[in-house]
Structure 1
Amino acid sequence: MSKAFASQADLSEKKISFTEVGRDLWAFTAEGDPNSGVIIGDDSVMIIEAQATPRLAHKVIEKVREVTDKPITHLVLTHYHAVRVLGASAFEAPQIIMSEKARAMVAERGKEDWDSEFQRFPRLFEGHESIPGLTWPTTTFNDRMSVYLGNRRVDIMQLGRAHTAGDAVIYVPDENVMFTGDIVEYQSACYCGDGHFHDWPGTLEAIRNFDLEAIAPGRGAALAGRDMVNAALDSTKDFVRSTYRPAARVALRGGSLKEAWDAVRAECDPKFADYAIYEHCLPFNVARAYDEALDIDTPRIWTDKRDLEMWEQLHG
């Protein structure tokens, strides 16, 4: 294989930041690694995203304990991907919340995704032997639900398909702040391998309609202020469209996946080559864009075997 697969060569430790994005609202970020969020209520704490392993989850817990000793009662998972959910056991939260669609995706493809992501991201699976198994929610919802942490209301909503078909966002109305999961990224490539390119821009506009004070994105730094929020929404939309359109043109004229790869690189490299995990994401993104252009609405399941075959096809 001519190029190190996915993120196998990324072994450097990332600097952790813990940023307050609203009153008692915190973003745990780490230079393009998966983010987590923290919502502190009157008498309890909600965590958003569990990290890939219990060991990595404890890094989030350490930061939480620097700002509050209230118990962690709720864990919200914005979608099913292994690097977001497999650390859940560390939080010992009585309530684990996912959309009903995200739970269905755990059942449909959770084990395959775990094997696939473990191969792609060895550094993120530090302490993987402590993962007890697939993470299942205790509570699911369709469209939206609200959780009350004392008087603080938290709205958990599906605004549309984007990064996956089961994406949820978490909105805190008293501070007008949203935790978006991987629907929004900042200075980081979007992973579109399980995405829905046609729907994604509209979902971003649904987020924009909240006129938010701040966003904690899926990857990248916390976004404080409307200018940063809108810049991140714009750059995410540009990334999605710049990936899909060249690939679709090739697919619809009967061109090959390799030709689509070359066309997307020509469009995206000048704008996004310095983004975190760009080289990792690009082959998966092109493959999914090519499929969606051919009306394959449900993303094909990635497996560790399919990953390597596709990578070799484009890089070999």
Structure 2
Amino acid sequence: MKRVLSFRLSILLLICSLNAAPLFADSVTTHERTVTKVSEGIYVIRHPDAPDSFPQGNTTVIIGEREVLVVDSCLLPSSTKEDIKQIRQWTNKPVRYLVNTHWHFDHTNGNALYAEAFPGLSVIAQVETQKMIQSFNPTAITSYSNRTERFKRYLETGKDGDGNPISDAFRKDLTNSLNGIDSVVAEFKNLTPLAPNVTFDHELSVNLGNREVQIRFLGRGNTAGDTVIFLPKEKIVIVGDLLDHPVPYFYGGFPLELAATLQRIAQLDAQTIIPGHGDIQHDKTYLTQVIGLVDEVVAVVLKEVNTTPGRKLEEVQQAVPKAVDLAAWRQKFAGNDQENRDNFDASVESLIKVAYKQAMVR
């Protein structure tokens, strides 16, 4: 499956903060809305990318005997409204809970629409996620239109925000983004960001009626407040952007802690893993593969930083490919798909940079 590299990278240049990932996920390019019935009363909705190529996160709907829980509320209001309409076709039971797996707005923009459609809704998030949604997301949404002029400047000058020449692929993606951005800005114009009204530190459980849902914080990785939703009876785990498929998401976050957090997910008695973006996984093969890659890269970064005081990023970047067979890892994740291969290279490059940054401040 193909994904768009340059547009994702362009957002890296536009929106980031010290220990936070960009407001997007490095997802497969998705052109249509699909619904997958994972188990009785449990559905995963995959959304098409926004008109400007911005990816939309997966939404999971869990229906119990009494009420409904939804995981992640999507990016575009129009997509959220379609999801709500679909849920009402599935059941007349109320959506009582909405869980945000993390703060990125392709997973949280629809919060207010759910609250409007289902009075008394509890919007749940780990405490760090709530803080980010409250402080960062409103400004990011209102400033979304600013990228129009910035993208135009990149095209006119032929250089990105760091002054580096833009590639033909980057130019094409910028053009595609500009062709679709007006409709996205129009949707965002009346969007009201809504922060969670229920928070937890480590674990929270709800019962939807003969269906237990465990909401857990297993550690930092993609963000400071990554939330995992586990259904022990059904052996299903929903992990947000801690895991994206087919190429993992390593922009920002806490790479020195990521493998341990993913390992805790692997220890759960789950047979189905629902990622933040991409295909549902029916075993732990892909999860284990991501853990292996992170472990290898981070180990080299730490060795370089710890054994040579004052080690420069450029030196670490040169050391990693000598110690880790990145070509073999690229083949495992991306095969012969050039866009996925490019995405893998860019994601691993970010992993090295952010791991170095985190290692230097420990």
- What TM-score, normalized to structure 2? 0.67
Choose the corresponding residue for 1:61, options 77, 84, 103. 84
Once the two structures are superposed, residues 159-178 of structure 1 have per-residue CA deviations (whole angstroms, 9 ceiling, x without a partner) of 11111121111112221211
The AA in structure 1 aligned to 2:271 is: E
Once the two structures are superposed, residues 110-155 of structure 1 have per-residue CA deviations (whole angstroms, 9 ceiling, x without a partner) of 456657988599679832223213x311101111111121332211
Q: Which of 100-109 and 87-96 deviates more?
A: 100-109
Once the two structures are superposed, residues 251-288 of structure 1 have per-residue CA deviations (whole angstroms, 9 ceiling, x without a partner) of 66523359728956972544445449546645543431
Question: In structure 2, what is the equivalent of residue 221 of structure 1?
Answer: 279
Q: Does the 8 A contact of 2:232 with 2:269 survive in 1?
A: no
Once the two structures are superposed, residues 189-238 of structure 1 have per-residue CA deviations (whole angstroms, 9 ceiling, x without a partner) of 21331x222222222221122221212111211123xxx2x112112213
The 5 A counterparts of 1:230-269 are 230-241=284-295, 243-245=297-299, 247-248=301-302, 253=308, 254-257=311-314, 260=317, 263=320, 267=326, 269=330
Q: Does the 8 A contact of 2:57 with 2:74 survive in 1?
A: yes
Q: Does the 8 A contact of 1:162 with 1:183 survive in 2?
A: yes
- Deviation of the 1:49 alpha carbon: 0.6
Q: Where do 4+ consecutive residues of structure 1 move more than 4 Å?
A: 7-13, 30-33, 111-125, 245-253, 261-266, 268-271, 276-284
Question: Could you say what the CA RMSD is over the residues aligned between the two structures, in angstroms?
Answer: 3.6
Choose the corresponding residue for 2:8, options 2, 6, 9. 6
Question: In structure 2, what is the equivalent of residue 131 of structure 1?
Answer: 191
Distance 1:83 1:137 in 2: 15
Choose the corresponding residue for 1:144, options 203, 206, 221. 203
The 5 A counterparts of 1:4-83 are 4-6=6-8, 14-30=31-47, 33-83=56-106
The sequence identity of aligned pairs, in percent, is 23
SS at match of 2:113: helix
SS at match of 1:96: strand
Distance 1:266 1:257 in 2: 18
SS at match of 2:255: coil
Distance 1:68 1:255 in 2: 57
The AA in structure 2 aligned to 1:218 is: G
Q: Does the 8 A contact of 2:231 with 2:237 survive in 1?
A: yes
Q: Does the 8 A contact of 2:241 with 2:277 survive in 1?
A: yes
Correspondence 1:207 to 2:265: yes
The AA in structure 2 aligned to 1:222 is: I
The AA in structure 2 aligned to 1:188 is: V
Question: In structure 2, what is the equivalent of residue 99 of structure 1?
Answer: 126
Q: Does the 8 A contact of 2:98 with 2:123 survive in 1?
A: yes
Q: Which of 146-155 and 100-109 deviates more?
A: 100-109
Structure 2 unaligned spans of 5+: 12-26, 49-54, 152-173
Distance 1:285 1:69 in 2: 44
Structure 1 unaligned spans of 5+: 297-316
The AA in structure 2 aligned to 1:42 is: E
The AA in structure 2 aligned to 1:22 is: S
C-alpha distance 237-33 of structure 1, shift in aligned 2 (>3 A): farther
- Deviation of the 1:75 alpha carbon: 0.7
Q: Does the 8 A contact of 1:53 with 1:88 survive in 2?
A: no
- Deviation of the 1:76 alpha carbon: 0.3
- Deviation of the 1:37 alpha carbon: 0.8
The AA in structure 2 aligned to 1:26 is: Y
C-alpha distance 257-42 of structure 1, shift in aligned 2 (>3 A): farther
Distance 1:182 1:61 in 2: 22
Q: Does the 8 A contact of 1:102 with 1:167 survive in 2?
A: yes
Once the two structures are superposed, residues 42-62 of structure 1 have per-residue CA deviations (whole angstroms, 9 ceiling, x without a partner) of 132211011123222224334
Correspondence 1:184 to 2:243: yes
Distance 1:201 1:78 in 2: 18
C-alpha distance 23-67 of structure 1, shift in aligned 2 (>3 A): same
